[in-house]
Amino acid sequence: MRSSVIPLVIVGALVAVSLASCQSSKQSTTQVVAQRDTSIPPNAIPAAKVDPRLLRYTFYFKMLASDTHPADEIFIDTSGQMRFNTHQQMKSGIWKTPTGFAYIEPADDDTLTYFVRKESLFVIDPSDVSPECPNGDIMYISFYRPDLKKEIRLKTNTCAEEYNLLTGEQRKLFPMLLAYVQRLAQRYRPLFPDSP
């Protein structure tokens, strides 16, 4: 009789251990899932990420002439094609209007794409970037993203690099954008050869 009782006790103990381990693993799984769920706010929708290959935009920049540079006008689209209109005074005193066509170089294109992808730039209040500045060069900047159906159009000046009413990310990005478009104008400005 003892010999039959011992195996039943052993089997009962094994079943109890097995059930206990299943129950504890179930509880630990439930706890892990609960911990994951509590880290995500209810009804949260993750921000949509734009695939760089699908990003489309048009970019326009115009700077009025000043004592230090001619009037410049630049159009760039997603393909990297650039049309650049400018003015040039020849040595003879005659003014000409060179128009250049080029592809923006990869490093400059990457920088432009960086700015275009920043949705915070699309909600800048134009009055925040138009300080009164007697010596600042006047600039017009606009870009459009069809996926957002948003366009930004700003009239600003070079003083806004330092003096603006922006806050947060906008305050950091906007001076960088102004410096970038001025570099574009200097780098890609087409010129006619001028004989002495």
Mean pLDDT for all residues in the chain = 78
Quick: pLDDT tens for 92-117: 889 899 999 999 999 999 999 999 99
25 band by pLDDT with thresholds 50, 70 and 90: very low
Q: How many CB atoms lie within 10 A of CB 129?
A: 25
Residue (of 174, 186, 191, 188) closest to 76 by Cα position: 188
pLDDT of residue 4: 47
pLDDT at 175 over 80: yes
Task: State the burial class of residue 8 (Cβ atoms within 10 Å of its Cβ: 0-12, 13-18, 19+).
Answer: exposed
pLDDT of residue 121: 94
Structure token pair of residue 133: 């500045």
pLDDT at 24 over 60: no
pLDDT of residue 89: 86
What b/e sequence results for 37-62 when a residue is b if at least 16 CB atoms lie within 10 Å of its CB, and e otherwise? eeeeeeeeeeeeebeeeeeebebbbb
Higher pLDDT, 14 or 53: 53
Contact between 115 and 178 (Cβ < 8 Å): no
| CA-based end-to-end distance of the chain | 123
Residue 155's φ and ψ, nearest 5 degrees, are -110, 120
pLDDT of residue 51: 56
pLDDT at 34 over 50: no
pLDDT of residue 28: 40
